[in-house]
Structure 1
Amino acid sequence: MGKICDAATAAAVIADGQAVASTGVLAWSTPDVVLRAIGERFDATGTPQGLTFYFPVATGDAMGIPGMEHIARKGLLRRIVSGTYINPRHPETGARPAMTELVQNDLVEAYTWPIGATMHWLREVARRGPGYLTKVGLGTFADPRHGGGKFTSLATDDLVQVVELAGEEYLFYPTWPLDVGIIRASSADEYGNLSFEDQPLTTCALAMALAVRASGGKVIAQVGRIVPRGSRVAHEVRVPGALVDHVVVAPGEPAGTDVHHDPGYLRVMPDMLDRLPRLPAGPKKVIARRVAAEVRPGEMSIFGFGASSDAVLVMAEDGLLDGDWLGGHEFTTEHGPFGGAVMPGWQFSPNYAPEGLLDGLSHFDFIDGGGCKFAALAFGQFDAAGNVNVTRFGSSNPGAGGFTDIAVNAERLVFAGTFTTGGLEVECTDGALTILREGRVNKFVSEVDAVTYRVRDGVCRGQTARLVTERAVFDATREGPTLVEVAPGIDVQRDVLDLIDFPVRVDGPALMNPACFRP
């Protein structure tokens, strides 16, 4: 029997109550056509029901590439485990993602794990190991003593445990079998051999296929085209056909949000700097410029999703990357690219004009092994105890992504974000900052809603950590945050200290570089 079939036939492989896993990083590498077929089958027939879905990373953008939105149906899902969730409202309709609605309304068992765990857990399933063991995440949202990654009250099972080994504590993620895996590649032959020549990421496709195979399950691959068997050299085939059961051909699918085919995401481009977009004026650009001042050439620098990822674009705009090979700067994200420029927003994850690429599991080996000395990450909340939160706050439940693994293993940390959120408006004129409208939500709170990383613990281990906002810069110390810089034009008491829910030390402070506030 041939492996090539349509999406509906592939979706019919899934039975009620099974555990299904899918690749995808935002809209990159998302098998959207197959996920859509699963949702359509459920809408038409009421089956499959009661599925457990495992997404190592949020899949789709809830817009042109819906991804996990296709299966966000009450009844179809019993449980979801994901490294991240899609949260922003649709820019045109204002609608929240359906998956967010399921979580916020407590209609599904929802869990979130650090992406380092979601990736490495697949390796343990593939080797039929008992589970994934790590120190990363102790004392954070992933620790069962602090929630165990549970996002809803229906999520009552403890999927993470604390164990002791040789007198030391670890987090333990027990394995369970995966019945179906859905992955995406560029090309397949009739036997199912997969290559990824026009995919900017390979993410965890091979690991997922191995895990599903070890579980006795079925692997579905969505590809853009069929090529003759034997037409590629062996090292181009990243997933052998022996691991693939069904191939769904879906030509013309976009590579990512607003990206159909751009060779700049696949290889070095001589005119890379001219191709990069420019950030509009505003608080994000101020923050990006101040973060850029912390980046050093010759030091592997990793950037997280959000405000921190804008820094590389302003470095390019301001002439800081001129010269051969970006002036000696080395940039990566948590998803495997080496070299090139980190991209902002929905284009985040692969780099533009990369020199090399690791799969998701190998890259977290690199991160956990201390390969990224400098890390710039976003923050949603920061509290008096020196805890930072990006996992869950207010009505948002984005999950931590790779934040915890990155933060634990870096030597220098910068956390970047606006000082307040929810309607903040500022103006930059004559090298100074004016607050036109203050944000409704304070981000410096007495206690964070969830602990993503304990910054004070890191400082006690020898890390340095700095918080960068559009109006103030803080150094994290054992005693708590210390205000060290303020923007020209800012009243320290009214615009900074009065908006923090706990006392902070004040050192100086010095003025932020007026160049940060250029139009």
Structure 2
Amino acid sequence: MSGSAANNESNGMSKICTVEEAVALVKSGDSVASVGVIGWITPDALLAGLARRFKSTGDPAGLTFYFPCGTGDAMDIKGMDHVAIEGHMKRIVAGSYVNPVDPKTGKRPELMRLIRENRIEAYSWPIGASMHWLREVARRGPGYLTKIGLDTYADPAQGGGKFTTLAEEDLIQRVNFKGEDYLFYPTWPLNVGFIRASTADEFGNLSFEDEPIHSSSLQIALAVKACGGTVIAQVRKVVERGSRPAAQARIPGVLVDKVVVDATQMMSTDVAHDSSFLGGQSWDGQTSDRLAYGADKIVARRAAREIRPGVTSIFGFGASSDAPTILLEDGHLTGGHYRDYQFTTEHGPFGGLVMSGWQFSANKYPEALLDGVTQFDFIDGGGCPFAALAFAQFDQQGNVNVSRFGVANPGAGGFIDIAYNATDLVFAGTFTTGGLEIGYEDGKLRIIREGKVRKFVRRADHITYPVRRNVMERGQRAKLITERAVFEVDAEGLVLIEVAPGIDARSQVLDLMEFNNVRVAPELALMDADLFRVG
């Protein structure tokens, strides 16, 4: 326990303080870890306060930031974008980056500009590694050892997770242990931790009753304290010490040095509070959530047909997370049938409805919850045999890319852990992107305007996961689903197995791919017309 925490305990002093008092504890050169999953559980007031201090005083400078996941939405909950200031941020290590365009301003996050312009040292780790690494820091271990990520962009042979040329230090090593290759992530100290909860008492015992996910909150606190650092919690309210059952206090006050109260903190992007994300209430298998008609909805409808009752199914960020909403729209979850499906995400909710867009990560009407680190134990242990994920590029060698393409630098998120440990993989997305427009009439799909960007490329910009190799060597099964064609991946590459009615397989599919080793199934099937119905 730190000296300040020990004094607070012996003197009965409160740990409650202002944002300004809390961020004054951060020193130049510190390593600061912070929790957050898009808008969920982001300690936004603390990150904003730290940025304000730097802008007004020039301190603290030269900070290293450690974000296990993309933190904040870079809009009203800016999260990591608050501290994306040259001079303030020297280095960032993140499991993912918040990358989408702000619909209000049309701009991408400021952090993306710093990365594109090589203004900071930027690294991207798979979220599973970033979460499990915290556990090694907390137990004062030498580092995290894993096979997950070999031959991907995280592998030193493929760049070692470096996103800028200023990122010169090798934070990931490829090592041989007992005759086998692994990736090794050496530990280094964390000085400050920013975490968020719902409620604290004056001693700092934290509960999460209004938070639908917990992410790496506990593990950040454990890791920072193991390094002799300072843990600062942001909460919505304070209660009397001893007024809650012990089981509710998920983080004990001995791990917390300071508590800042922000009564206005949002549950997530555009959500002040919605109890449906917390579970514990009856559900009829219906919500008002609906997908707008278009190519994405066609993709989601086809992907939904791969989902099987009774199989724990995990969904990644992007087009793939729309598939459960299709099952909801079509009435498959009513009459208690939602209990036949076990939907989850990399962030730990089980049951209910997976959300998409800015609300992705938490489920509506969940039945159970694991914290983020334990969820990756579950994923890495093969607990999710079916996975639906997005794709930005797929190349001639059978590699899929979602981590870096064009001006986007989102990182892998949980993609690599999920893909490596599933048995059946679905990669869902439109065939091209950047202005694609489609129509459907007279039983035929029409491409009104082709997307400017091809997604089936000769060589992917990044290797997020080598699909074909793992199909060939580890027996995985994989499909790519688009609005106009469906492919299987086998040991030799891609096989076109379905094409949309009205689409010419040669001119509107094969000729738009930058490689010509795609085979056509002997009995090429038409995609079901019901997938294209308007509505």
The reply to whether TM is greater than 0.5 is yes
| Shift of residue 272, structure 1, vs aligned partner | 5.2
1:325-336 correspondence runs (5 A): 325-326=337-338, 328-336=340-348
Aligned to 2:260: 248
Tell me the equivalent position of 1:513: 528
**Counterpart residue number, 2:278:** 266
CA deviation vs aligned residue, 1:152-198 (integer Å, no higher than 9, x gap): 00001000001111100110000000000000000000000000000
| Whole-Å separation in 2 of the counterparts to 1:322 and 1:190 | 45
What letter corresponds to residue 519 of structure 2 in structure 1? R
Aligned to 1:383: 395
Question: Helix, strand or coil for the counterpart of 1:123?
Answer: helix
* 2:161 paired residue among 149, 164, 167: 149
User: What is the CA–CA distance in structure 2 between the aligned matches of 1:95 and 1:459, rounded to whole Å?
Assistant: 39
Alpha-carbon contact 2:403-2:409 (below 8 Å) kept? yes
| Count of paired positions | 519
Select 1:116's aligned residue among 88, 112, 128.
128
Q: Partners in 2 of 1:63 and 1:88 — Cα distance?
A: 10
Confirm whether residue 419 of structure 1 aligns to residue 431 of structure 2.
yes
* 1:110-165 deviation line (CA, Å, top 9, x unaligned): 00000000000000000000000000000000000100000000001000001111
Question: Contact 2:312–2:384 at 8 Å: present in 1 too?
Answer: yes
Aligned residue for 2:50? 38
State the match for 1:231 in structure 2. 243
Question: Residues 272 and 178 of structure 1: is their aligned pair in 2 closer, same or farther, counting only changes over 3 Å?
Answer: farther
Of 497, 501, 519 in structure 2, the residue corresponding to residue 488 of structure 1 is 501
Question: d(CA) in 1 for partners of 2:506 and 2:442?
Answer: 22
- The counterpart of 2:296, out of the listed 284, 288, 292, is 284
- Per-residue CA deviations over 1:246-283 (Å, capped at 9, x if unaligned) read 00000021100111111100014434533241001001
Q: Percent of counterpart pairs with the same letter?
A: 60
User: Could you list the runs of 4 or more consecutive aligned residues of structure 1 that deviate by over 4 angstroms after TM superposition?
Assistant: none
- Contact persistence 1:320–1:327 (CA under 8 A): no
Residue number in structure 1 paired with 2:459: 447
Contact conserved, 1:114 with 1:405, CA < 8 A, in 2? yes
Distance in structure 2 (CA, Å) of the matches to 1:202 and 1:63: 22
CA displacement at 1:497 relative to structure 2: 0.7
Matched residue, 1:475: 488
Query: Counterpart in 2 of 1:201?
Result: 213
Please report the TM-score for the alignment, with normalisation by the length of structure 1.
0.99
Task: Give the AA of the match of 2:408.
Answer: S
Quote how far apart the aligned CAs of 1:321 are: 1.9
CA distance in 1, matches of 2:36, 2:496: 40
Which structure 2 residue ranges, 5 or more long, are not aligned? 1-12
Q: What amino acid maps onto 2:514 in structure 1?
A: D
Instruction: Report the Cα distance in structure 1 between the residues aligned to 2:154 and 2:185, rounded to whole angstroms.
Output: 10
Partner deviation per Cα, 1:24-53 (whole Å, 9 max, x = no partner): 000100000000000100110111100000
Q: Which residue is 2:316 aligned to? A: 304
CA contact (8 A) 1:416 1:468 kept: yes
8 Å CA contact retained: 1:429, 1:517? no
Q: Distance in 2 between matches of 1:421 and 1:21?
A: 35
Q: Distance in 1 between matches of 2:488 and 2:382?
A: 22
1:95 maps to which residue?
A: 107
Q: CA deviation at 1:429?
A: 2.8
1:339 CA displacement: 0.5
Match of 1:107 among 119, 143, 151: 119
Q: Is the 8 A contact 1:133 1:173 kept in 2?
A: yes
What code does the residue aligned with 2:502 have? G
Runs of 5+ in structure 1 lacking a partner? none
Q: Cα gap change, 1:34/1:294 in structure 2, threshold over 3 Å: closer, same or farther?
A: same
Q: How far apart are the structure 2 equivalents of 1:109 and 1:285?
A: 38
Paired residue for 1:165? 177
Query: Please, which of 490, 496, 513 is the counterpart of residue 500 of structure 1?
Result: 513
| 1:191 matched residue in structure 2 | 203
Cα distance per residue 1:293-333 (max 9 Å; x no partner):
00000000000000000000011101222332415111000
Distance in 2, Cα, partners of 1:399 & 1:364: 17
Q: Any idea what SS the aligned residue of 1:251 has? A: coil
Amino acid in structure 2 at the alignment position of 1:75: G
On the 8 A contact 2:283/2:365 being kept in 1, the answer is no
The CA distance in 1 between the partners of 2:70 and 2:513, in whole Å, is 32
Q: Determine helix, strand or coil for the equivalent of 1:363.
A: helix
1:270 and 1:511 map into 2 onto residues whose CA distance is 40
Aligned equivalents of 2:56, 2:111: Cα separation in 1: 20
Q: Residues of 2 paired with 1:494 and 1:268: CA distance?
A: 52
d(CA) in 1 for partners of 2:47, 2:514: 44
From 39, 45, 70, give the equivalent of 1:27.
39
Contact 2:286 2:333 in 1 (8 A): no
Q: Answer yes or no: is the 8 Å Cα contact 2:316–2:389 preserved in 1.
A: yes
Please give the secondary structure, in 2, of the residue aligned with 1:494.
coil
Moved more, 193-202 or 2-11: 2-11
Determine the structure 2 residue equivalent to 1:369.
Answer: 381
- Distance across 1 between alignment mates of 2:302 and 2:443: 13
- State the Cα distance separating 1:433 from its structure 2 match: 1.3
Q: What is the TM-score of this pair, normalised by structure 2?
A: 0.96
Q: Which string of whole-angstrom CA distances, capped at 9 and with x for unpartnered residues, describes residues 353-406 of structure 1?
A: 000000011000000000001000000100010100001011100000000000
Give the counterpart letter for 1:102 in structure 2.
Answer: L
Q: Does 1:401 align with 2:413?
A: yes
CA distance in 1, matches of 2:156, 2:219: 26
1:417·1:469 contact (CA, 8 Å) conserved in 2?
yes
Residue 140, structure 1, aligned to residue 155, structure 2: no
Change (3 A) 1:302 1:113: same
